[in-house]
Amino acid sequence: MQTRRRTRRTLVALGLVTATLAGTAGAAQAGPADPGTERRQGGHAATQRAMDSLVAGGVPGITGQARDERGAWTGTSGIGNLKTGAPRGAEDRFRIASVTKTFVATVLLQMESEGRLDLDDTVDRHLPGLVRGNGHDGRLMTVRQLLNHTSGVFNYDEDPAYAEKYHFVPGFLKHRYDTRTPEEAVRVALRHAPHHQPGQGWHYSNTNYVLAGLIIEKVGGRTYEREVRDRIVKPLGLKETTLPGNSSRIPQPSSRAYSKMSPDPAATRIYDVTLNNASQSWADGDIISTAADLNRFFGALLGGKLLAPAQLAAMKTTVAAEGAGFRYGLGLIASTTSCGTNLWGHGGGWYGSLTGVYSTEDGRHGLAYNLNGDWYLDQANAISEAEFCGVEPTRAAGKAGASANVLGAPKNR
């Protein structure tokens, strides 16, 4: 019983990783008297120092890119391969986890602008009879509620048996290459009562985006992967962005990914978790990309190049993320830094991978970064604080608790 309680606490904490990655106000406490001075002068030295500080505290390695009116700046720090000592690469590909949700929401909003669905359609209209059981009813929840996590549908990652099988050792080591279908994730979720009734609260649930992916396939008549490629990846020229399906590998160049694979904050053993079957996250978190491609995507999205004005406005219409310290739109997070800069973006965490992507509202100043260790939730926001405010952390990282294997939320996944 104690193990089950600890597992659930870990999964819930992972769900809050997005707020940590977002750089919420008050997170950093030290820096120059005027923390915006360096940023106004166009420098990224504080961002590099924040990355170096995280590595000094125990993060294996970090890669990141910032883009603004002056162009692109790329920074790296630390190790990409603990066995060989190879450094983290500036062009590394990595699993972006829940940042995938922004791609999924964008596709559904494009479909709405084409008249192929409505955000206020019920889930049952597109997936008849699928969401039933233990108080769940797809006739009462909408597509919009899936995308902003107000549907109440249970988060399959919070099922203790599922977590033991896929997210922690020894289960992960045995099942890391298993193919998992979207329908399996839905079945796991429906074993439980909903977190709340549709529209009556907010709870980050990766099941929402599994259902969103299934709706994309039903409406479009094609795979979720093909819709994302044809609507976003190819038009924007995101040449390093891939949707891996049931592959376990990451295209090169890439670094290794490391995790403690445990809900125990005292765990010390580190596992190489680079290889695992991407189908175990699917539309709620399977995309592989680079910092440069992610900045290009968010810049285009917020700059109005992917969505009509009405759909972009809907995406940016937020609800309070209860207990998380940010507001959530449709696959998009709104947060505020300690210096008052309003940011839009998303965070993501998966086995051995923590990713943050944040941008000013006009899309002109963006930051994307990835850590190849997943147990530093309480300090990852230092990078965005440094980039947008010039504020540097007062202490080294590495004191966070359990691994963020599923962050989705959120697993951030």
Q: Indicate if the pLDDT at residue 403 is higher than 80.
A: no
What residues does 272 pair with on adjacent strands? 258
pLDDT at 164: 95
Chain segment 173-212, per-residue pLDDT in tens: 999 999 999 999 999 999 999 999 999 999 999 999 999 9
User: Which range (15-19, 117-121, 128-132) has the least confidence?
Assistant: 15-19
Interacting residues of 127 by C-beta distance below 8 A, sequence separation 6+? 138, 211, 214, 215, 218
Percent of the chain predicted with pLDDT > 70: 84
How many C-beta atoms surround the C-beta of residue 177 within 10 A?
11
SS3 4: helix
Interacting residues of 282 by C-beta distance below 8 A, sequence separation 6+? 180, 182, 185, 210, 213, 224
What is the reported pTM? 0.90
Span 243-270, mean pLDDT? 92
What's the pLDDT band for 19 if we cut at 50, 70, 90? very low
What's the pLDDT band for 393 if we cut at 50, 70, 90? low
Cα gap 200→202, rounded to integer Å: 7
Chain segment 302-356, per-residue pLDDT in tens: 999 999 999 999 999 999 998 888 999 999 999 999 999 999 999 999 999 999 9
User: Which range (145-159, 168-182, 251-265) has the least confidence?
Assistant: 251-265
Q: Is the peptide bond before 170 cis (omega within 30 degrees of 0)?
A: yes
What's the pLDDT band for 413 if we cut at 50, 70, 90? very low
Q: In which region does residue 374 sit, left (phi positive, over 0), alpha (psi from -120 to 50) or beta (all else)?
A: alpha
More confident residue, 17 or 53: 53
Backbone Cα Rg of the chain: 19
Mean pLDDT of the chain: 87
Q: Indicate if the pLDDT at residue 259 is higher than 70.
A: yes
pLDDT at 5: 43
Q: Indicate if the pLDDT at residue 108 is higher than 50.
A: yes
SS3 333: strand
pLDDT at 264: 78
User: Which range (170-184, 208-222, 353-367, 399-413) has the least confidence?
Assistant: 399-413
pLDDT at 377: 64
